Amino acid sequence: MPESNSSDPNEVARPSSSRRDPEWLRARLAEWLPTVAPSPTITRLEIPSANGMSSETIVMDAEWEGTTHPLVVRVAPTADSDPVFPTYDLDRQFRIIDHVARSTGVALPRLYWSEPDDGPLGAPFFVMGRVDGDVPPDVMPYTFGSWVSEATEEQRTRLVESTVQTIAAIHGAPVPKELLDLPGPGETPLRAHVRRLREFYTWASAGRRGSPLIERGFDWVADNFPEEGDPVLTWGDARVGNVIYTDFRPAAVLDWEMAAYGPRELDVAWLIFLHRFFQDLAELMEMPGLPDMLRREDVVALYARASGHELTDLDFYLTYASLIHAVVMYRIQSRAIHFGQAEEPEDTDDMIMHRSTVEAMMAGTYWERVR
């Protein structure tokens, strides 16, 4: 498959960089599109510079039957790009989005087609409608110098409340068990979730020096396992950076590759933790950030009002969220080392940007500092 001819080594090594040539993509999509749409014409195709951490995003406009259709194509990564995750089931993601769209009022992109065959583009892909709006940026973090940090307190409150309401609505959807990884014999949904995270870490650390901090994290999880409430469909990557907003309300919920069957606390803790991750970065850079946004106690109260459910054992789930993020960060840094963008540190725990947060959460001291 032809690759992008970028000479920037940082672009080659980025977890989000494309390794597909836009002209090759345009030609292949022009061959495929007539199989699903009548006499289509592609009028625009580009690969955004800020691409996703997992599947690759292609922006495309196509015309058929006298109408212009603004589209987004999500494509599984190529094997030679050393993907962040070991597998990518885009057809499953497509079907989960479709299920949530049909069974809830959650704002989602319009779905067009799923192509599980890797023949047309060298990997499976799906096509959805493009949604206009604003996304809280990861780089630089939305906690400073962004449309979120420059908004009024009232606007940010609207964003937070509507996001929590969206998560509660997702949890209210019927569970599509045929689309999710279910627990094995004798497993609970949470224990199955932890097992899959351990399997991901084993894959990510194969042939490399592992992280003692992550190993201690798994031990901490085993020693502090909570009782589980009723499992739900979880979004998996429930954070504001995966939402397109218009007027500070969700216009489209994105990125369903981490969707799972498990306790509702998984999503709520991920929402709170990922904001704290970006808030800690702001404070590290001696900026005020957004300390009053997505505060733990506020989110818990908002979720209870939206769902009718009281969350439990949130200390556990927040610490577990920090461990999940540690494994992902370890994998991303391993990938950068693989491509020559970074050198492996003497202490492999330094591959985890938020190692001090993980350590403090396991020690039970993190939230004392935040409060």
Q: What is the CATH classification number for the domain harbouring 308? A: 3.90.1200.10
Task: Please tell me the total number of residues recorded for the chain in this structure.
Answer: 371
Q: Output DSSP code: residue 120.
A: T
Asked if residue 210 and residue 125 are part of one domain, the reply reads: no
Domain shared by 121 and 222, yes or no: no
CA distance 93 to 100: 11
- The pLDDT > 90 percentage for the chain reads 85
Per DSSP, 21 falls in state -
Reply yes or no on whether the pLDDT at 3 is more than 90: no
What is the domain range of residue 120? 9-129
Please, is 83 exposed, middle or buried when counting C-beta atoms within 10 Å of its C-beta (0-12, 13-18, 19+)?
buried
Which of 20-24, 88-92, 177-181 has the least mean pLDDT?
20-24
For residue 109, give Cα distances in angstroms to 76, 128, 282.
18, 6, 31
Residue 19's pLDDT is 58
Domain count, the chain: 2
Average pLDDT over residues 16-25: 73
**pLDDT at residue 42, as a whole number:** 98
Quick check: is 135 in a domain?
Answer: no
Q: What is the pLDDT of residues 303-326, one digit of tens each?
A: 999 999 999 999 999 999 999 999
Residue 165: inside a domain: no
- One domain for residues 234 and 349: yes
Residues 83, 218: one domain? no
Q: Is the residue at 118 inside a domain?
A: yes
Mean of all residue pLDDT scores within the chain: 92
Active site residue 237: yes
Which band of pLDDT confidence, cut at 50, 70 and 90, is reported for residue 53?
low
Q: Is 363 left (phi over 0), alpha (psi -120 to 50) or beta?
A: alpha
Q: Which of 129, 161, 185 is the last residue of a domain?
A: 129
The pLDDT confidence band at residue 83, using thresholds 50, 70 and 90, is confident
Same domain, 178 and 324: yes
Q: Do residues 341 and 193 both lie within one domain?
A: yes
Catalytic residue among 237, 255, 267, 349: 237
Q: Each residue of 125-149: pLDDT tens digit?
A: 999 999 999 999 998 999 999 999 9
Residue 232 lies in a domain: yes
Query: What pLDDT was estimated at residue 15?
Result: 43
Task: Report the candidate in 204, 215, 193, 241 with the shortest Cα–Cα distance to residue 329.
Answer: 204
Same domain assignment for residues 263 and 316: yes
Mean pLDDT of 43-63: 82
Judged against a pLDDT cut of 70, whether residue 342 lies above it is answered with: yes
Give 230-274 pLDDT, tens digit per residue.
Answer: 999 999 999 999 999 999 999 999 999 999 999 999 999 999 999
Residue 137, domain member (yes or no) = no
Question: Looking at the structure, do residues 89 and 182 belong to the same domain, yes or no?
Answer: no
> Residue 133 is encoded by which pair of tokens?
């709006």
- Is 330 among the domain residues? yes
When pLDDT is averaged across residues 354-359 and rounded to a whole number, the result is 97
Summarize pLDDT for 217-227 with one digit per residue, the tens.
Answer: 999 999 999 99
Residue 18 has pLDDT above 80, yes or no: no
| Residue-level pLDDT at 316 | 98
Cα–Cα distance, 32 to 124 (Å, whole number): 12
Same domain, 57 and 203: no
| 167 part of a folded domain | no
- 355-363 vs 265-284: helix axis angle to the nearest 10? 120
99 in the same domain as 181: no
The answer to whether 237 and 257 have CB atoms below 8 angstroms apart is: yes
- CATH code of the domain in which 20 resides: 3.30.200.20
- Amino acid identity for residue 42 in this structure: I
Task: State whether 110 and 213 are in the same domain.
Answer: no
pLDDT tens for 138-186 read: 989 999 999 999 999 999 999 999 999 999 999 999 999 999 999 999 9
Whether residues 211 and 343 share a domain: the answer is yes
- Tell me the pTM: 0.93
Nearest residue to 254 (alpha-carbon basis) of 164, 141, 155, 135: 135
pLDDT for 81? 73
Element (H, E) at 176: none
Predicted pLDDT of residue 54 = 60
Q: Which of 98, 129, 160 is the last residue of a domain?
A: 129
In a domain, 225, yes or no: yes
